[in-house]
Chains A and B, each alone.
Chain A
Amino acid sequence: MKVSKLAEKTSWNVYGDPKKFDKEIEGVYVGDLLSWVMGHGKVAQAWLTIQSHANVLAVASLKEFSCLIICENDGLSTEFIQQVLDEEVLVLTTSLSIYDVCKKLIELGV
């Protein structure tokens, strides 16, 4: 599934223009420990984490994840939103738990 499609099918907040990226999601990786994600995540995966700071964006961009889904989130700082726009990362946020996001992704066939 394309990230743009996922954004359309969920009511999750999107930061960055999904059409501009229009990337195919190829699998999912879940984790909050950055060097673990760095070592095990794969290109084009959607990355699920609860972390929301600049270093997460650096990892998402360097690993070329298709998108970053920040879970259990109730609002990003304006500073972070600006950083998202600066980096070439597409970010989705939701208040759902990681478990519920996984269920949703499976339901949608990601």
Chain B
Amino acid sequence: MMKYSYVINKDDYINAGKVSSQIKKILKELNVRPDILRRMAIACYEAEINMIIHSFGGEITLVIDNKAEFIFKDIGPGIKDITLAMKPGYSTANERARELGFGAGMGLVNIKKVSDEFNIESSTKGTILTLRFDLL
């Protein structure tokens, strides 16, 4: 089993996507099938960006054995209405994020579409997004 952890900081636009790029490199070296790797990269990127633009910061953990599991855990403010947040086009992204091209309200939709298992829990204390990918 292998475990990787990364810290994500609020509003860290400069480094946005860096962790996803790093994880993609690791997966490539582990010879993860290209189509699976691509799906994982999309999910990881969207979740990483969400932590940067919507949360107070948190941690990304990737555990790999015969499958891959991502845990995106942040320290708040949480998602009030998850059903609403999952709707295509729904976004609370601020002006700054929108200027950079974020805020289509498609991130969570993309993540759900590409992952084999998707689970999200949220309270004012934070959001935990858990994703699983079959590696075969």
**Do A and B assemble together?**
yes
B7 close to A (CB within 8 Å): no
Q: How many residues of B contact A (CB 8 A)?
A: 25
* Also in contact, A58 and B100, with CB within 8 A (given A35-B106, A38-B110, A43-B38): no
Q: How many residues of A contact B (CB 8 A)?
A: 22
Is the pair A35, B110 in contact by a Cβ cutoff of 8 Å? yes
A49–B41 Cα distance when bound, in Å, is 21
A6-14, A21-29, A59-67, A98-106 - interface stretch: A59-67
B17 surroundings in chain A (CB, below 8 A): 54-55, 57-59, 61-62
B16 surroundings in chain A (CB, below 8 A): 54-55, 58
B residues 75-116 in Cβ contact with A at 8 Å: 100-107, 109-110, 113
Is the pair A62, B21 in contact by a Cβ cutoff of 8 Å? yes
Main secondary structure of the interface of B (DSSP, over half): helix
* Also in contact, A39 and B106, with CB within 8 A (given A55-B13, A58-B21, A58-B45): yes
* Also in contact, A32 and B110, with CB within 8 A (given A54-B17, A62-B17, A62-B24): no
A residues 43-82 in Cβ contact with B at 8 Å: 43, 49, 51, 53-59, 61-64
> Which B residues have a C-beta under 8 Å from some C-beta of A?
13-14, 16-18, 20-21, 24, 38, 41-42, 45-46, 49, 100-107, 109-110, 113
